[in-house]
């Protein structure tokens, strides 16, 4: 199942910068792992914002939920999920 996920990070003003850098490092490692596995299929930065638009490929709604909850930055995020399906006019034979 494919999902478009928009994630906006909201950094609290009182967060310790060293702790936040550690969380971001863990986030990058986890994101790399998910991308290598094909779960996090696409990742784009939204220019000028601390936000990304991503495509996830998971087996179920619950799998997406669990994946997102596992993100180290999740407690600092606003997340919007949109389920996707193939369009009948697409010229591609796959979900790339």
Would you place residue 96 in the very low, low, confident or very high pLDDT band (cuts 50, 70, 90)? low
Domains and CATH numbers, the chain: 2-84 (3.30.70.1060)
Mean pLDDT, range 24-48, rounded to an integer: 97
Would you place residue 62 in the very low, low, confident or very high pLDDT band (cuts 50, 70, 90)? very high
% residues pLDDT > 90 (the chain): 88
Q: What is the pLDDT of residue 91?
A: 86
Distances in Å between the alpha carbon of 69 and those of 6, 65, 76, 96? Answer: 14, 6, 11, 25
Residues contacting 37, CB < 8 A, separation 6+: none
Q: What is the pLDDT of residue 94?
A: 73
- pLDDT, one tens digit per residue, over 12-27 is 999 999 999 999 999 9
Residues contacting 39, CB < 8 A, separation 6+: 56, 57, 58, 67
């Amino acid at each position: 199942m494919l999902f478009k996920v928009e994630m906006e990070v909201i950094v609290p003003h009182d967060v310790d910068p060293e702790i936040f850098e550690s969380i971001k490092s863990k986030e990058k490692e986890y994101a790399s792992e998910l991308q290598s596995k094909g779960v996090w299929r696409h990742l784009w930065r939204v220019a000028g914002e601390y936000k990304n638009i991503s495509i996830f490929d998971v087996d179920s709604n619950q799998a997406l939920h669990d994946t997102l909850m596992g993100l180290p930055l999740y407690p600092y995020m606003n997340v919007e999920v949109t389920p996707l399906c193939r369009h009948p006019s697409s010229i591609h034979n796959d979900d790339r």
